Amino acid sequence: MSTQESQAPSAASTPILDPTAGPVALTRQLCNIPSVSGDECAIADAVEAMLRSHAPHLVISRDGDTVIARTELGRERRVAIAGHLDTVPINDNLPVRDEVDPVTGEAIIWGRGTVDMKAGVAVQLALAVELVAPAVDLTWIWYDHEEVASDLSGLGRAMRNHPELFGADFAILGEPSNGTIEGGCNGTLRARVELHGTRAHSARSWMGVNAIHRASVILSRLAAYEAERVTVDGLEYREGMNAVRIDGGVAGNVIPDRCSIEVNYRFAPSRSADEAVEFVRTFFADADSVEIVDLSPGARPGLDAPLAQRFVAAVGAEPTAKLGWTDVSRFSALGIPAVNFGPGNALLAHADDERVPVAQIESSFAALHAWLSASQEPPVK
């Protein structure tokens, strides 16, 4: 689709989102629109319709199922704030329910998407409507296809299609971070490591070379490997090197001539993508082939930017390192410092008992609201 303003989707077919009810109610409304990756049209339509009804101060663009809404106030600085609209598959955990956490006694919203990341999107949508005159110009981005292969990302696609919309001085991604700031992210690389052998009938196994047996050397090295902890800009990033898939064999009576191991390497943002590739190729130098099948660089924390320092002060808690790869690295690749900030515990993302504390939705909203209303002030020390 074009980036020009298009007609609002028809109200008849579009679920209604009500931003005036606040971010907690919006969280419930967003979760209850099923939006598994690849099926984000309904929720993107709902978001676009809501903005067109309630936020006439925003210039709205659409790219596939990604919605981009910008203030154009001529402020000195611009902040991009993004969240993905999709979820992993539903597993009997929709519609969401209001519950009390049996351990903490907190009020929670339980169900798919509450953590990853409808609560974050709800905070953003409520602010997008409410902040008609923020202290900085804002670029709001709600995008599709985050929970699938990196090359399908709606954010990546929109950045390629419309680079002119993405200029900013700082970016915030609403990934769950317990309402604290998680700086940067580890990079991630997946490689297919292959061992070869020679087929033979298994009754005469000494005439062949067993490729699965050859994999034992690789797997032993992986099992023994202790991943590093790397401090980058004051935050500690913990790495990881793991076999995530293995496959080999021809038939029950054949010595196998091939074994394939898929490895996932999570690397600190102090390593470049090229350095990560080199490390993996050296680590598996005795394999018959090493093919890089997926590679996403990490992002440094970016907390040295003045805007970021003011945000840290507004949140009021110590920033930590983000370990999982997130789309902050897409902003980082455009030269835009970026952090993760959203309600919810990332350890519950994708879990069937995904649940978000109501208080975190409210505190995240309050911190962002305070910062965006006053971000021209000098940093609090």
Residue positions annotated with a catalytic role: 86, 146
213 near its own copies, judged by CB under 8 A: yes
276 near its own copies, judged by CB under 8 A: no
> Per the structure block, which two tokens stand in for 262?
């898929």
248 near its own copies, judged by CB under 8 A: yes
Q: For residues 150 and 162, what is the distance between their CA atoms, to the nearest angstrom?
A: 18
238 near its own copies, judged by CB under 8 A: yes
Contact pick of 347, 352, 374, 380 for its own copies (by CB under 8 A): 347
215 near its own copies, judged by CB under 8 A: yes
User: Which residues, numbered 290-329, are part of the site for its own copies (CB under 8 A)?
Assistant: 294, 323-325
Contact pick of 212, 230, 305, 366 for its own copies (by CB under 8 A): 212
Q: For residues 26 and 40, what is the distance between their CA atoms, to the nearest angstrom?
A: 17
Residue placing its CB nearer to its own copies in the complex, 134 or 344: 344
> Per the structure block, which two tokens stand in for 247?
């496959």
> Per the structure block, which two tokens stand in for 69?
């809404």
Residue placing its CB nearer to its own copies in the complex, 243 or 334: 243
Residue placing its CB nearer to its own copies in the complex, 97 or 229: 229
89 near its own copies, judged by CB under 8 A: no
Burial 290-321 (b: 16+ CB within 10 A, else e): beeeebbbbbbbbbebebbebbbbbbeeebbb
Concatenated DSSP letters of 6-61: -PPPPGGGS----GGG-HHHHHHHHHTS--BTT--HHHHHHHHHHHHHH-TTSEEE
- Cα-Cα-Cα-Cα torsion 59, 52, 14, 343, nearest 10 degrees, comes to 70
255 near its own copies, judged by CB under 8 A: yes
Give the nearest distance from C-beta 77 to its own copies in angstroms: 31
Contact pick of 36, 59, 243, 333 for its own copies (by CB under 8 A): 243
Task: Please tell me the count of residues contacting its own copies according to CB under 8 A.
Answer: 51
Asked if residues 371 and 304 have their Cβ atoms less than 8 Å apart, the reply is no
Q: For residues 139 and 298, what is the distance between their CA atoms, to the nearest angstrom?
A: 23
Give the nearest distance from C-beta 59 to its own copies in angstroms: 35
Give the nearest distance from C-beta 215 to its own copies in angstroms: 6
64 near its own copies, judged by CB under 8 A: no
Residue placing its CB nearer to its own copies in the complex, 163 or 249: 249
The region of 74-82, 205-213, 353-361, 372-380 touching its own copies under the rule CB under 8 A is 205-213
Residue 244's closest CA among 287, 196, 294, 192?
A: 192
Asked if residues 107 and 358 have their Cβ atoms less than 8 Å apart, the reply is yes
Work out whether strand 181-183 and strand 320-321 pair parallel, antiparallel, or are unpaired: parallel
350 near its own copies, judged by CB under 8 A: yes
Region of 260 on the Ramachandran plot (φ > 0 left; ψ -120 to 50 alpha; else beta): beta
Give the nearest distance from C-beta 346 to its own copies in angstroms: 8
188 near its own copies, judged by CB under 8 A: yes
The DSSP H or E segment spanning 369 is helix 358-374
Residue placing its CB nearer to its own copies in the complex, 187 or 343: 187
Give the nearest distance from C-beta 10 to its own copies in angstroms: 37
- In whole angstroms, how far apart are CA 167 and each of 66, 148, 249? 17, 25, 51
Sign for the pseudo-dihedral over CA of 266, 271, 277, 279: negative
Give the nearest distance from C-beta 180 to its own copies in angstroms: 16
Q: For residues 236 and 232, what is the distance between their CA atoms, to the nearest angstrom?
A: 6
Contact pick of 186, 329, 345, 360 for its own copies (by CB under 8 A): 186
151 near its own copies, judged by CB under 8 A: no
264 near its own copies, judged by CB under 8 A: yes
Q: Which residues bind its own copies (CB under 8 A)?
A: 186, 188, 190, 201-207, 210, 212-217, 219-220, 222-223, 227, 238, 240, 242-256, 259, 261-262, 264, 266, 294, 323-325, 347, 349-350
